Structure 1
Amino acid sequence: MRRLDEGDAEGWADTFTEDAVCRISTRPEPMRGRAGLVAGARAATEAIAAAGERRRHMTGMFEIEERADGCVLVHANTVVYATDASGRSRVHQVCTCADTLVRSPEPGHALLVRDRRIDVLGPAPRPAAASTPSPTPN
């Protein structure tokens, strides 16, 4: 995500497999393949610049599971900060992320993202109101 934050769309896409899929809950369609990832990252970078902001992803609370088939599943939470030209920052989004990583055949790339799902969290669901029976006429 540091590469994406720096506007390096190609470098970010290079951390994925050639046929990767990236699904973001706020987008109607997933990004598919490195070319789709580059296009999506460039569009996001341009929109952020047009808004006069910079973004920083802070990721933590990792849960990592190595599977018998060699895949590595990673779940994490990410807080995305937006900083304006004056240096004021605000929380832009809070997300949960789920990645499926695979070993790369290319030297220098230990793991690549084959599948990424990002769910942007909205407000917490409100508890259901207790139903109150209608008063019965006497």
Structure 2
Amino acid sequence: MTSTTTVTELYAAVQLHYARQVQLLDGCRFAEYAATFTADGEFQHTPGQPAAHGHDGITAELTRFNKRFDNDPVQRRHWFNMIDVRPREDGLLDTTFYALVLTTRPGVKEPVVGPSCLVRDVLAFEDGELRNRSRQVHHDQMS
């Protein structure tokens, strides 16, 4: 981010980052999703489970987590909303947002909504692109 970047431009960049990121996640393109993190990025998404670290660790964790859908023709969609972006003096960005996961199965009329989560990210600009340094997902039903 440069000093001439406006709040609107920054917010749009964050939303674009998240739009690309969740489409990779929902498309089960886990290595590409992991590449949206810094090389030493941390990803913690399941309560009580340790965080995954680095591109290989994040890819492995998502592959493991999604094995439960191998024989289930499910489509999951992550919906990020109410994004709050707070620039830090060191150039990093703290973001907080709500996430819902919608699960749809063929032949089932209504999707299942849940979990509902609060997500806290630290984002960094690398080579002009936003990347996650960390993601902490807090499930509302666990609070």
2:130 to 105, 108, 111: 111
Query: 2:120 matched to which residue of 1?
Result: 98
Structure 1 distance, partners of 2:123, 2:108, is: 35
Instruction: Give the equivalent residue in structure 2 for 1:37.
Output: 58
Deviations 1:69-125 (A, max 9, x none): 0001110001101101214311131011010001113xxx511000110011107x7
Ranges in structure 1 where 5+ consecutive residues have no aligned partner: 126-138
For the pair shown, the structure with the greater C-alpha radius of gyration is 1
- Flag the structure with higher helix content: 2
Give RMSD over aligned pairs: 1.7
CA contact (8 A) 1:48 1:54 kept: no
Q: Secondary structure at the match of 1:68?
A: coil
Q: What is the distance in 2 between the residues matched to 1:115 and 1:8? A: 19
The corresponding residue for 1:134 is: none
Per the normalisation by structure 2, the TM-score is: 0.77
- Cα deviations across residues 50-69 of structure 1 (Å, max 9, x unaligned)? 33311000110010011110
The number of equivalent residue pairs is 121
Matched, 1:64 2:85: yes
**Structure 2 unaligned regions, length at least 5:** 1-21
